[in-house]
Amino acid sequence: MPVRSLKLKIVVPRHPSELEKAQALWSTHRLVNEAVSFYEQKLLLLRGETYSTSDGSVPQDEVRRQLLEQAREAQARNGGSGGSDDEIVRLCRSLYEAIVLADDANAQLANAFLGPLTDPNSAGFLEAFNKVDRPAPSWLDQVPASDPIDPAVLAEANAWLDTDAGRAWLVDTGAPPRWRSLAAKQDPIWPREFARKLGELRKEAASGTSAIIKALKRDFGVLPLFQPSLAPRILGSRSSLTPWDRLAFRLAVGHLLSWESWCTRARDEHTARVQRLEQFSSAHLKGDLATKVSTLREYERARKEQIAQLGLPMGERDFLITVRMTRGWDDLREKWRRSGDKGQEALHAIIATEQTRKRGRFGDPDLFRWLARPENHHVWADGHADAVGVLARVNAMERLVERSRDTALMTLPDPVAHPRSAQWEAEGGSNLRNYQLEAVGGELQITLPLLKAADDGRCIDTPL
């Protein structure tokens, strides 16, 4: 069924008596952004790698130190122990990859990880272990892979369903597996389907996300790693996790999914630029051309000193011949080479003529006058490759490499500078808090669940 989306503008009442609605909208926006930032920072610790912000780089050693500090604190709270530093870091990285970097990762599915990360009572991803730990039926090894099942074995399997062990499998919550539907219909192949499903559960328990969660939670007690951001701050909240926390975590994962893709793109582009520079340099900066470029480098150093003497020191930044400085050089060089008089004054006259003719499309006269000196004629006088153009291109490529990054900047949410938008869904939805849209007196009126600030610094989840 097609869904039509409509954009509506919310008109917030401005009468002083209804000021609390505007205040509640702002406090909701602020608290959600604080929660998103909280979850993003926790996920960055699980990531375990260097990342860069506008304030600078956070090195991998510091990320690792903070992660291990929080992991050991969590073990103390949860009654866990063991696990080397490297093992804990590796498992946390694997958990991050399952949340953010997996091929099927998305923000909505990531909510399944919030329970294990924050809730001591969460059994998320441990269902496979809970089932595999149950005693295997005595008839299981007698079920053939394809041949008809022996009537005696089938009778034993059917009788097993009426035992406590069998009933434990029948009351599992969630979508019922195929073998249960077959057993309910008394289909004789249900034991084979049960054996197949149990094999899948054992495989799931031996590897993948379930094994990661099991190691961090049951083996070492690292999970839950931290408390939820919003649930403890909401007055009267009876659950360990609220839809607000799930919204914030979903927004955090969504941002990290986008950021990781930009990191990959930035890394690939930076690597490609470095490779192009290396290939161009190795192909051109050799032999006689390399000698000419060395002469031009002397000009760059001298020009930097000259600029400093004029009261414009460049500090540690090098003066470099740029493509802009060499505009018109190809024509000028050709005229110089064709000129019968290669004296300095004659070459200067050609410079003046070309500068007048080309006006703003002419390069740096100081560079050209330096090239006109007799001792520098070897840089351009022969018919070989143009050292000036090559150096300008190398400098441009080097500056591009210096300006580029091998990663994207991480910008954490901020309610003013870098806001994330709170979200609601229509009545009947179970993922987010629900809004109520009504027609009142010919106008549309919306009621939103909001986080209204309380006097003690906490908040009240209330519709306004």
Distances (CA, A) of 156 to 161, 177, 181, 196: 9, 20, 18, 18
Distances (CA, A) of 254 to 108, 186, 258, 436: 8, 46, 6, 26
Q: pLDDT tens-digit profile of 241-263?
A: 999 999 999 999 999 999 999 99
Q: pLDDT tens-digit profile of 266-288?
A: 999 999 999 999 999 999 999 99
What pLDDT was estimated at residue 253? 97
What pLDDT was estimated at residue 2? 65
Q: pLDDT tens-digit profile of 40-93?
A: 999 999 999 999 999 999 999 999 999 999 999 999 999 999 999 999 999 999
Q: Which residue has the higher pLDDT, 9 or 403?
A: 403
Residue 294: which of 325, 274, 333, 321 has the closest Cα?
321
pTM for the structure as a whole: 0.82
What pLDDT was estimated at residue 452? 93
Strand partners, 449: 463
What pLDDT was estimated at residue 231? 94
Token pair in block for residue 463: 């519709």
Letter for the amino acid at 397?
M
Q: Please, what is the end-to-end C-alpha distance for the chain in angstroms?
A: 32
* CB under 8 A, 24+ apart: contacts of 421-424: 421/29, 422/28, 422/29, 422/32, 422/247, 423/247, 423/251, 424/448, 424/449
Q: Which residue has the higher pLDDT, 303 or 4?
A: 303
| Residue 431 confidence class, pLDDT cut points 50, 70, 90 | confident
What pLDDT was estimated at residue 360? 85
| Residue 213 confidence class, pLDDT cut points 50, 70, 90 | very high
Asked whether the predicted pLDDT for residue 401 surpasses 90, the reply is: yes
| Residue 18 confidence class, pLDDT cut points 50, 70, 90 | confident
Average pLDDT, the chain: 91
Residue 140: which of 148, 127, 149 has the closest Cα?
149
CB 195 within 8 A of CB 140: yes
CB 326 within 8 A of CB 362: no
Q: Strand runs (DSSP E) across 56-197, as ranges?
A: 56-58
Q: pLDDT tens-digit profile of 122-180?
A: 888 888 777 888 888 999 899 888 788 888 888 998 999 999 988 988 888 778 899 99
What pLDDT was estimated at residue 236? 87
The sign of the dihedral angle between the CA atoms of 181, 187, 193, 194 is positive
Can you tell me the distance from the alpha carbon of 322 to that of 399, in angstroms, rounded to the nearest whole number? 10
Q: pLDDT tens-digit profile of 108-118?
A: 788 899 999 99
